[in-house]
Amino acid sequence: MNRRKFLAILAAIMPSTAIAHSPWGQFQVYRQKHLLILTSREDEESYPYSKLLAVALNREQPNASARPARAVNLKRVYNLLRTKQFTFTLLPRNHLELLEAMDLDNTKSQYRLDLSPIYTFGDLVFLVQNDFDTNLVRIVTHALAESAIWLPDADSPLDVLANKKLHPGAYEALEKFN
């Protein structure tokens, strides 16, 4: 192939690669516009319950635009939470213990798991990243406390308040709720 043909082909290919894009930015915006509740496909209870939580949150706070989201497995949930790609998650207590064990085993990464519970629903725990805005956590927690009457297996606000590891925003909301 001569040089002119090569340059002509290269010139034809270059514009198409220059205008190609990744939807990553759009996905970031989607995550900012919606309160996504991350669950795992490995757990059959959490995804249907996350749909109920989305309904409850959207009923009390329509601007939350809550949506359920599912990761393929618990390891993927761990990686998404560890890298702060998701803010909220709903997990059974035994999966939470597995996540904590994964975090202890993960010595190579600079990213650590940093979650606090907001509310509990029987064996399911609704968690948030610790560095998430306290005022927003307060609003979400208040919406869940308001909906606890009709959410199945929802613990009473007083029972949730007894949890010593509760996020500060959740603690404030539940303290004022009672």
Q: How confident is the model at residue 16 (pLDDT cuts 50, 70, 90)?
A: low
Name the residue ranges covered by the structural domains of the chain.
Answer: 24-177
pLDDT number for residue 167: 97
Q: In the chain, pLDDT over 90 holds for what percent of residues?
A: 62
State the amino acid at position 161 in one-letter form: L
d(CA 148, CA 138): 15
Res 82 pLDDT > 60 = yes
Assess contact for 157 and 177: CB atoms under 8 A: yes
Q: Percentage of the chain surpassing pLDDT 70?
A: 83
Could you tell me which CATH number the domain at 24-177 has? Answer: 3.40.190.10
Q: From CA 114, how far away is CA 128, in angstroms rounded?
A: 8
Structure tokens at 13: 């290919």
Q: Determine the pLDDT at residue 11.
A: 66
In the three-class reduction of DSSP (H, G, I as helix; E, B as strand; rest coil), residue 103 is classed as: helix
The pTM (predicted TM-score) of the whole model is 0.82
Q: Concatenated DSSP letters for 125-150?
A: EEEEETTS-HHHHHHHHHHHHHHTTT
